[in-house]
Chain A
């Protein structure tokens, strides 16, 4: 099978490419850019005139909810949502039911993902058995079963000693550990950023120190153990500074932030709208701007959707009683592009954080259109204006503060390994 994507504006930060060139695909991979190789006279032609041709997006945080929570989402439904949003590769967390602490669960998720034929799915395995924070999981077996990293998903470790040993064991086998820095003694019971807004509205606060104290501890243990580390969903200005210092000191660390933390602040709390209940919480304008600054300087490596679909009832309650999380994977790119409209970010920087950046964090062969890469790409209409309403939604979760909004830019087609898995009807 041969494909020729013609006349599109190909933008690929991994090769510093932004030009109108043709893209050639054969046997699932990209075989040429620009001039047609020999034997492409009979290739299927995709006309991308006036459109962008981008590497498929890579999302480091998409909860598929299966197995265990299929009322919120399934591998098929959330996979479809992902490719609708142009996400061709995703990393999913271990907090399913059963938890991803055995090779069988890891294999089940990947098999179901293959069967669904949607995005490439890479599970994270549990760092400890049952995420209980006490006994180490079979980290090597989980890795052999396809887990790309290990994480305790922000749940407490029994002690710092257990954490330290888990990291040393992971370092022995050169495994990647994902941290969600949170000192639960400080964050417990909180549902919003501790600040003027939460104080005024009587919502229990989560102080910045809940994140930064845990982050400092984790960084010290990373330094001591030498483990490869990825810090997930940072929300505070100070965290960006701490990661910058760690990187400058030569530590092998990367980090990501959730899209909503880049677009929203705790100002929205005045509405008492549970759709804004996310963890870590939406913080101050200074935090938001510093996170964006971190994207510009490269301290922050990736933007993720932190996609967390919920059934409708999970959000129909008073603010603190709602379940945290938003489901935004299918509008990741149009929402992320708002960061450019504000004059904050250049297109190349932004796309790096959605493709090559997250792929590099997890060592995934994805996020690039270089010759030899898997032909995971999307065709994007950067000018289309549309409303994200229930009729277009693919995720089982309808929980988003952005639902019903007018968006600018839309994914028209998504290809994985040269196969079209989504086309806007």
Chain B
């Protein structure tokens, strides 16, 4: 069975996005195009009429196998601002729990002639699976799969960094916390490396930052001071409560003591460092309220940028699909 490399699965023959599954393997040109396009949508959000007709007549299905109100809402807003019709399906509580297989669910949705699936799933690789098993005409956007990837979150973080820092060259970035379980960290690592930052540091205890990340080009720090020393960007990750039950950490308070971002620990970073967090934040667990609400924090910018990035990615993948369908039609004619 010859199967295409999934990293190639998301590009059409012209090298344009037709799905958006992972940042691993995407070129600097494509990432920059996403950022540029998002930038143009950002200014549109400030106008009184916030809609463009790029996805008019298209049906977008938000397929959430894992609950997430925030991410789903920004995808929904993004699709609506592109003039698409949007359906939200929370499958976590419906079909598959009744024993219906993922494939059966997909085939049903496809039969309703959808044009795009925005997929969040607890299994790593699920969007790849869906892209492989769907009709070629449906664009798949990964809204987070297992521990594997969360490419739109990473790209909105890139947009936030670019808008505050101007460029990526020369930057040092620290990602702090539960790297092991984080799809955001993995996608950010790919994006930051492709966009050409100087250094990406992953900071946390060995239970949450395995050495294997070194082979992915990251610098591993188990000490927060060394990790934050002289960095331009600090990304704090959310710490899930179940990590304590899994014996990965003793307690929230000990984590905060060692890896929590406070005004003191932030002082180890560059004076103009920005602080990001994919949200929702745990105040007093990974970040203090002073820092979360302080001058260095760009956490709310991230949310605004998220809508623009999702509009960019959705419109690019849809035009990549249309391009491929036209090429196929010409081939037949």
Which residue numbers of A lie inside 8 Å of B, CB to CB?
A: 194-196, 199-204, 270-273, 275, 313, 316-321, 401, 403-405
Contact = CB atoms under 8 A, between A and B. Distances in A.
B145 A202 contact: yes
Interface stretch (B50-58, B117-125, B282-290): B117-125
Given A196-B215, A199-B210, A318 B2 contact: no
B129 A200 contact: no
Contacts of A321: 102, 123
Interface string B101-138: 11100000000000000000101111011000100000
Interface stretch (B72-80, B146-154, B167-175, B193-201): B146-154
18 contacts: A199-B213, A201-B148, A202-B124, A202-B145, A202-B147, A202-B183, A202-B186, A203-B148, A271-B6, A272-B128, A313-B101, A316-B103, A318-B121, A318-B126, A319-B124, A320-B123, A320-B124, A403-B1
- Closest CB pairs A-B (n = 10): A202-B147, A202-B148, A272-B125, A318-B123, A199-B212, A202-B124, A318-B126, A196-B215, A404-B1, A196-B212
Contacts of B330: none
Contacts of B213: 199
Interface in B191-247: 210, 212-213, 215-216
Nearest to B126: A318
A277 to B, nearest CB: 11
B98 interface: no
Contact of B2 (A194, A201, A270, A404): A404
A320 B147 CA distance: 12
A194 B1 CA distance: 26
Interface of A is mostly: loop
A200 B121 CA distance: 17
Given A201-B148, A202-B148, A272-B124, A317 B212 contact: no
A203 B216 contact: no
Contact of A203 (B3, B125, B128): B125
Contacts of B5: 270-271
A319 B1 contact: no
Contacts of A318: 102, 121, 123-126, 128-129, 145
A200 B7 CA distance: 13
Nearest to B130: A318
Nearest to B127: A318
Contacts of A316: 101, 103, 133
A317 B101 contact: yes
A317 B146 contact: no
Given A200-B216, A203-B146, A317-B102, 5 more contacts: A199-B213, A202-B148, A270-B6, A317-B103, A319-B123
Contacts of B2: 404
Contacts of B123: 317-321
Interface string B164-191: 0000000000000000100100100000
B125 A201 contact: yes
Interface of B: 1-3, 5-7, 24, 101-103, 121, 123-126, 128-129, 133, 145-149, 180, 183, 186, 210, 212-213, 215-216
Contacts of B1: 275, 401, 403-405
A245 to B, nearest CB: 27
A275 B129 CA distance: 12
Contacts of A271: 3, 5-6
Nearest to A317: B102
A161 to B, nearest CB: 25
A272 B129 contact: yes
Given A270-B5, A271-B6, A272-B125, A320 B146 contact: yes
A254 to B, nearest CB: 33
A23 B180 CA distance: 61
A214 to B, nearest CB: 20
A270 B25 CA distance: 11
B124 A273 contact: no
Contacts of B128: 272, 318
Nearest to B216: A200
A127 B38 CA distance: 62
A201 B124 contact: yes
Nearest to B147: A202
Nearest to A197: B212
Given A272-B128, A318-B121, A202 B149 contact: yes
Given A202-B145, A272-B6, A403-B1, A317 B129 contact: yes
Contacts of B121: 318
Contacts of B180: 199
B123 to A, nearest CB: 4
Contacts of A195: 212
A201 B23 CA distance: 12
Nearest to A275: B1
A408 B199 CA distance: 48
Nearest to A271: B3
Contacts of B7: 270
A403 B148 CA distance: 27
Nearest to A195: B212
A395 to B, nearest CB: 16
A273 B128 CA distance: 9
Contacts of A404: 1-2
A271 B210 CA distance: 22
A273 B212 contact: no
A322 to B, nearest CB: 9
A362 B233 CA distance: 62
Contact of B216 (A196, A204, A273, A405): A196
With a 10 A CB-CB cut-off, give which of A272, A313, A405 has the most chain B CB atoms. A272
A272 B21 CA distance: 12
Contacts of B149: 202
Given A272-B124, A316-B101, A317-B101, A200 B186 contact: yes
